[in-house]
Amino acid sequence: MIRAIFSRILAAIPVLVGIAIITFFLIRLIPGDIVNVIMGQDYGDPVFEAELRRLFGLDRPVHVQFSDWFTSLLQGDLGHSLRTRRPVVTEILDRFPMTLELTLAALIVSVSIALPLGIISATRRNSTADMAARLASLMGLSLPNFWLGILLIMLFSVAWGILPSGGYADFAFSWNHFQYLVLPAVTLGTSLAAVTMRMTRSSLLEVLGIDYVRTARSKGLPERIVIGRHALKNALIPVVTVIGIQAGGLLGGALVVEQVFSWPGLGTLVIRSIEQRDYPLVQGLIIFLAFFFVLMSLVVDLLYLYLDPRLRRRG
In the window 254-313, what residues touch other proteins (CB under 8 A)? 255-256, 259-260, 270-271, 273-275, 279, 282, 286, 289-290, 293-294, 297
Packing angle between helix 128-142 and helix 175-208, nearest 10 degrees? 120
**Least distance between other proteins and beta carbon 199 (Å):** 8
- Sign, CA dihedral 179-184-188-194, equals positive
Please give the biggest Cα pair distance in the chain: 85
In single-letter form, the type of residue at position 3 comes to: R
Which among 22, 21, 43 has a CA at the least distance from the CA of 34?
43
- Any contact of residue 15 with other proteins (CB under 8 A)? yes
139-178 residues near other proteins, rule: CB under 8 A: 139, 141-147, 150-151, 153-154, 158
249 part of the interface to other proteins, by CB under 8 A: yes
Q: From the list 23, 121, 190, 203, which residue makes contact with other proteins (rule: CB under 8 A)?
A: 23
Helix H segments across 34-127? Answer: 34-39, 46-56, 62-74, 88-123
DSSP helix/strand/coil, 51: helix
Residue among 195, 76, 182 at smallest CA distance from 139: 195
Binding mask 99-138 for other proteins (x = CB under 8 A): ---------------------------------------x
Q: Rounded to the nearest whole angstrom, what is the least distance from the CB of residue 13 to other proteins in the complex?
A: 11
Question: By CB under 8 A, is residue 13 in contact with other proteins?
Answer: no
Nearer of residues 125 and 174 to other proteins, judged by Cβ = 125
Out of 92, 111, 226, 242, name the contact with other proteins by CB under 8 A. Answer: 242
Q: Which residues contact 106 (CB under 8 A, 6 or more apart)?
A: 184, 185, 186, 187, 188, 189, 192, 250, 253, 254
Query: Interface with other proteins includes 21 (CB under 8 A)?
Result: yes
CA atoms within 13 A on the CB side of 129: 11
Q: Which residues bind other proteins (CB under 8 A)?
A: 14-15, 18-19, 21-23, 26-27, 29-31, 138-139, 141-147, 150-151, 153-154, 158, 199, 202, 205-206, 209, 241-242, 245, 248-249, 251-253, 255-256, 259-260, 270-271, 273-275, 279, 282, 286, 289-290, 293-294, 297
